[in-house]
Amino acid sequence: MSATAGINYKKSVIDALVAGFMALIVFGPIVGVVLDGYSFNAEFGKVAWMVAVVVIGRFAISCFFQTEKGIAMAFRHANNDEGVAVRLPDHKSKLLWVVPLVIAIGLLVPFIASKYVLTVIILGLIYVLLGLGLNIVVGLAGLLDLGFVGFYAIGAYGLALGYENLGLGFWSMLPIAALIAAMAGAILGFPVLRMHGDYLAIVTLGFGEIIRLILTNWTSLTHGPNGISAPLPTFFGLEFKRRSRDGETFHEFFNIPYDSAYKYMFIYLVLFAVVWAVLFIKHRLVKMPIGRAWEALREDEIACRSLGLNHVLVKLSAFMIGASTAGLAGVFFATYQGFVNPSSFTFFESALILAIVVLGGMGSTLGVVIAAFCLTVLPELLREFAEYRVLMFGILMVVMMIWKPRGIVRVTRTGFAARKGVVK
């Protein structure tokens, strides 16, 4: 295989024309036909532009892959072993340097970023939490959960309802909501975790919808679709409002002018700390007996049972820990929005969180963090293309599944140094 054969332009032209035809079919109806009342306007110009971009792009790619460089690149990717790798026993993770750097930058962010950027990053971090939680359930324990948003809703409504009915604030609800979500996970999990794969997916899908329907219809408690307001966190009892009914506010205490960005800064810092705590716990969990049991269960449930592991309890623990993480994320979501209503907890959210886990690479922590930011922050930053968001989302998924079907980050396993074995 040498590049001296030159570029076969005929092949490239055919490739480009085929791609252009596909683009015409896809973009034609979506972009070319714009509804206008009961009639529609045909926008041929826009379609022509898009198709032209696709044709030229495809032609360029086709030519590139026939050059020496392109062949080498294609070869490298074809050879790239995407599977799991075991690290050497004396492996030193590069993350050891990266982590302090990221923490330092992360701590600086609220003081440099604008209020808008900060809110986007908070949203990204909330999805990191959700992704980490679902990663335990789907990525490690191999339980396909399509109703994860249910636990997220429980956390968010936990804060709002706890404040309204019991007068509990952010700080007391943070652990309580995690516990309630974990309990909900246990109650849902115990009867259904004996099921496998598809059945479990359907039951959890139903669970997510049930939670949303309860929130919508139990109007006496949840105010239905109108939603309820959620409290802001307090800084040692100081509130982040302009005026406080009882007690002092943050800006009055420190004698600084009021700025609504303070509350986001504070939420960000707390969330940042919680995300790191969850990352640390998750990092420990995968190395602990319980984490190994989760993964073993994903690999082979029957073998697990033959080794004395109670498969129901192992699954339940994964389900509960995943749910409690979602509960935490829910509390942050509620306090950040200041308001919750059932429309934030639709199936689309569950699908988004699942996409984060799948794109990041099942079981890979770093991958999930990157994917969470990509899938939540990028759409926010590309607001101009808001109409095409779901389309781009779909394209991204397809591209990823072709390019890296096992996720962005390759899953690695700890290596152990050989030693002299002793028994008892």
Partner 1 sequence: MSLEHILKVENLVMHFGGIKALNDVTFNIKRGSVSALIGPNGAGKTTVFNCLTGFYKATGGDITLSAQNKETSVIKVLGEPFQATDFLSPFAFFRRLKYKMFGGSHLVNRAGLSRTFQNIRLFKEMSVVENLLVAQHMRANRSMLAGVLNTKSYQKSEEEALDRVFYWLGVVDLVDSANRLAGELSYGQQRRLEIARAMCTNPEIICLDEPAAGLNPSETEALTKMIRVLRDEHNTTVLLIEHDMGMVMDISDYIVVLDHGEVIAKGGPEDIRSNPKVIAAYLGAEEGEEVTL
User: Cα dist. 64→11, 22, 401 in Å?
Assistant: 12, 21, 22
177/314 with CB nearer partner 1: 314
User: Cα dist. 341→55, 330, 354, 390 in Å?
Assistant: 45, 12, 22, 22
Q: Is 290 one of the binding residues for partner 1 (CB under 8 A)?
A: yes
CB of 289 to partner 1, least distance (A): 4
The answer to whether the CB of 197 falls within 8 A of the CB of 258 is no
68/300 with CB nearer partner 1: 300
Q: Is 237 one of the binding residues for partner 1 (CB under 8 A)?
A: no
Q: Is 11 one of the binding residues for partner 1 (CB under 8 A)?
A: no
DSSP SS3 for 353: helix
DSSP SS3 for 414: coil
Identified binder of partner 1 from the candidate list 245, 306, 383, 384, rule CB under 8 A = 306
CB of 130 to partner 1, least distance (A): 21
188/334 with CB nearer partner 1: 188
Q: Is 256 one of the binding residues for partner 1 (CB under 8 A)?
A: no
Q: Is 288 one of the binding residues for partner 1 (CB under 8 A)?
A: yes
Q: How far apart are CA 77 and CA 62, in angstroms?
A: 16
CB of 408 to partner 1, least distance (A): 18
Q: Is 187 one of the binding residues for partner 1 (CB under 8 A)?
A: no
In the stretch 263-282, what mask flags binding to partner 1 with x, by CB under 8 A? -----------------xx-
Q: Is 289 one of the binding residues for partner 1 (CB under 8 A)?
A: yes
The answer to whether the CB of 185 falls within 8 A of the CB of 323 is yes
Nearest Cα neighbor of 346 from 214, 191, 201, 209 is 209
Q: Which of residues 310-349 bind partner 1 (CB under 8 A)?
A: 310-313
Q: Is 144 one of the binding residues for partner 1 (CB under 8 A)?
A: no
Nearest Cα neighbor of 208 from 379, 318, 372, 352 is 352
For every residue of 221-270, which 3-state class applies, written as one string?
A: HHCHHHCEECCCCCECCEECCCCCCCCCEHHHHCCCCCCCHHHHHHHHHH
AA letter at 97: W
Q: Is 96 one of the binding residues for partner 1 (CB under 8 A)?
A: no
120/279 with CB nearer partner 1: 279
With vertex at residue 268, the alpha carbon angle to CA 262 and CA 272, rounded to the nearest 5 degrees, is: 150
Q: Is 93 one of the binding residues for partner 1 (CB under 8 A)?
A: no
- Count of residues near partner 1 by CB under 8 A: 43
Contact window for partner 1 (CB under 8 A) among 99-107, 149-157, 231-239, 413-421: 413-421
User: Cα dist. 80→28, 74, 76, 83, 366 in Å?
Assistant: 37, 10, 6, 9, 20
Contact window for partner 1 (CB under 8 A) among 8-16, 82-90, 106-114, 370-378: 82-90
Q: Is 78 one of the binding residues for partner 1 (CB under 8 A)?
A: no
219/310 with CB nearer partner 1: 310
43/300 with CB nearer partner 1: 300
Burial of 303 (0-12, 13-18, 19+ CB in 10 A): exposed
Identified binder of partner 1 from the candidate list 8, 300, 382, 399, rule CB under 8 A = 300
Q: How far apart are CA 85 and CA 106, in angstroms?
A: 30
Contact window for partner 1 (CB under 8 A) among 32-40, 45-53, 305-313, 339-347: 305-313
**Interacting residues toward partner 1 by CB under 8 A:** 83-84, 86-89, 280-281, 284-285, 287-290, 292-293, 295-296, 299-300, 302-313, 413-416, 418-424
